[in-house]
Amino acid sequence: SQQGEEDPQALSIQEGENATMNCSYKTSINNLQWYRQNSGRGLVHLILIRSNEREKHSGRLRVTLDTSKKSSSLLITASRAADTASYFCATDRASGSRLTFGEGTQLTVNP
């Protein structure tokens, strides 16, 4: 399986609910990033968490990182229909190295 696997593969919630997506990886990492991809568009960087950080916030986003479990979670609070997109985690093993993307979680927020 790939470095960087998200679950669930698909998530459907109602507007106002919270959405939680998880990412697991296999090797040690330098950073872990989350990206969003709207249908037919390129990826947009959301948030980066370094390997020595455990939690990070940005607006309605909260990311956690557990390096002992090699996993991360992305929480979107008070979701909106505009949050409907695919969400990818991406890891890199060293500064400046390639990013390895997970398979993505398709989030649908129903109005």
Partner 1 sequence: DTAVSQTPKYLVTQMGNDKSIKCEQNLGHDTMYWYKQDSKKFLKIMFSYNNKELIINETVPNRFSPKSPDKAHLNLHINSLELGDSAVYFCASSQVVAGEITYNEQFFGPGTRLTVL
What is the contact surface with partner 1 in residues (CB under 8 A)?
2, 31, 33, 35, 37, 40-45, 48, 86, 88, 90, 92, 95-101, 103-104
Distance in Å, CB of 101 to partner 1, minimum: 4
Dist. CA 85–CA 28, nearest whole Å: 28
Distance in Å, CB of 26 to partner 1, minimum: 16
Q: Hey, CA dihedral for 6, 20, 30, 46, is it positive or negative?
A: positive
By C-beta, is 74 or 104 nearer to partner 1?
Answer: 104
Distance in Å, CB of 52 to partner 1, minimum: 11
By C-beta, is 29 or 109 nearer to partner 1?
Answer: 29
By C-beta, is 35 or 79 nearer to partner 1?
Answer: 35
Structure tokens given for 9: 């593969």
Instruction: Classify each residue of 23-56 as buried b or exposed e, where b means 16 or more C-beta atoms within 10 Å of its C-beta.
Output: bbbeeebebbbbbbeeeeeebeebbbbeeeeeeb
